[in-house]
Amino acid sequence: MTRILKCHDIVKTDFVRADNCYLYDSTGRRYVDFESGIWSTALGHGHPRVQQAIRAQMEKVSHLGTRYPSALAEEAVADVLEIVGFGDGKGVFLSSGSEAVEFAVLAARRTTGKPLCLTFSSSYLAAYGSAGGKRAEEWFALDWNVCAGGDACAGGDVERCLSGIPFERIGAFVFEPGGSGSGFVRFPPGDLVEAIARRIKREQGLIVANEVTTGMGRTGKWFGFQHYDIQPDVVALGKGLGNGYPVSAVVMRSDVAERLEAGDFHYAQSHQNDPLGCAVAKEVIATLRDGDWIGIGNAVGAGFLAGLRQLEAKHTLVKEARGRGMLLGLELHPSDRLSVQSAYLQLLERGYLVGCYPAGHVLRFDPALTIDREDIDHLLESLDRILEDAEQQG
């Protein structure tokens, strides 16, 4: 009997140690973590530089009152602004991705005075709050698959797609570039995203990029929005920013910050700009830069995708392999011979943790940028065998 409240499926309860992409259970058995926790440990579990930064900062001061942000917070905001490309903007460190997105939405509503936000219906934004609920009074959710019938948006009929959107009432487009929260790894089409961004700007609205999952190199660039020709005004970060430590951030352009501060904006939460989280974020950014991990992750991810595409070409059970950088998915055809749940459990048995999304028949892979190519090759071999066995049964 477990005393852990069941908020999720619980599959295994005895991981006791982690090192880079490896998790070890209480018997000493090694597993390869192709999910990076929940898409968070971009530099691998327990990266020595991040561990050292935590230890060093713990010795000094880990938490301060909100009236006393430290020089470290100032430096860490400057680092985030630089990688996002906001130069003289402003930002704040918070605790979770949900909190960062919710804060960004609040900020956008305050500065534009318009209560309605636009997002894609497949985007996951937050666990709670306005962004979590996406209620119709506050959100216009666009399904880019069916918004103008069939594959209109994906097929390029962008104007028809835009025609039903009440842009004059929308203050912000909250864009999640991975289409990833729903787990399906379906990237929103560029021409649609760019057309929406132009219309939003024309109506003096803001573009909020939710980079909680797609940020910090996950998609082969620093940020997922960089795959599109758009200029966000506000960016929310989490997950990879802390490499497993719970720190998130919201940064915004200087004009947005000015408008927000002029409106006497207050936000009460105990862990804002905590020195410990700031030290972690600073070290993660420096480590990603120094090791060129985003370039490396992009190259290794391209090889991984090529391997998944080979499985697609070889196996009739595979519908599609897709991905960007180290955010990859393998969609199976619905079949009695092999469900994604069964593939997931067989991979677990062989020592691999992967994402399992039955609703979309998708297996998902988000390993650390630091993963060894050999571990990817071995996973691909295991997948090949699992698919082959299932196909032979048929």
Q: Which of residues 181 and 275 has its CB atom nearest to ligand PLP in the complex?
A: 181
302 HSE (CA, 13 A, CB side): 7
For residue 101, state whether it binds ligand PLP (rule: CB under 6 A).
Answer: yes
Among 20, 36, 130, 180, binds ligand PLP (CB under 6 A): 180
By CB under 6 A, which span of 77-85, 105-113, 209-217, 376-384 interacts with ligand PLP? Answer: 209-217
Smallest gap from Cβ 167 to ligand PLP, in A, equals 24
d(CA 233, CA 253): 6
Measured CA to CA in angstroms, residue 201 lies from 198, 204, 353 at distances of: 5, 5, 42
Give the Cβ contact number of residue 7 at 10 Å: 7
Among 20, 119, 210, 370, binds ligand PLP (CB under 6 A): 210
For residue 176, state whether it binds ligand PLP (rule: CB under 6 A).
Answer: yes
Smallest gap from Cβ 4 to ligand PLP, in A, equals 17
> Considering only residues 26-55, where is the footprint of ligand PLP by CB under 6 A?
38
> Considering only residues 122-161, where is the footprint of ligand PLP by CB under 6 A?
124-127
Q: Which of residues 366 and 375 has its CB atom nearest to ligand PLP in the complex?
A: 366
d(CA 31, CA 250): 34
Q: Tokens 């500065």 identify what position?
A: 111
Sign of CA dihedral 157, 161, 167, 173: negative
Smallest gap from Cβ 390 to ligand PLP, in A, equals 30
Among 36, 111, 122, 213, binds ligand PLP (CB under 6 A): 213
Q: Which of residues 54 and 247 has its CB atom nearest to ligand PLP in the complex?
A: 247
Smallest gap from Cβ 194 to ligand PLP, in A, equals 20
Smallest gap from Cβ 230 to ligand PLP, in A, equals 17
Q: Which of residues 11 and 306 has its CB atom nearest to ligand PLP in the complex?
A: 11
Smallest gap from Cβ 24 to ligand PLP, in A, equals 25
By CB under 6 A, which span of 176-184, 263-271, 276-284, 330-338 interacts with ligand PLP? Answer: 176-184
Measured CA to CA in angstroms, residue 270 lies from 107, 161, 308 at distances of: 18, 42, 44
Smallest gap from Cβ 177 to ligand PLP, in A, equals 9
Nearest position to ligand PLP, beta carbon: 97
For residue 215, state whether it binds ligand PLP (rule: CB under 6 A).
Answer: no
Smallest gap from Cβ 296 to ligand PLP, in A, equals 23
By CB under 6 A, which span of 8-16, 90-98, 141-149, 200-208 interacts with ligand PLP? Answer: 90-98
By CB under 6 A, which span of 53-61, 121-129, 160-168, 220-228 interacts with ligand PLP? Answer: 121-129
Among 69, 171, 181, 188, binds ligand PLP (CB under 6 A): 181
Q: Which of residues 179 and 307 has its CB atom nearest to ligand PLP in the complex?
A: 179
Q: Which residues bind ligand PLP (CB under 6 A)?
A: 38, 96-98, 101, 124-127, 176, 180-181, 210, 212-213, 238-239
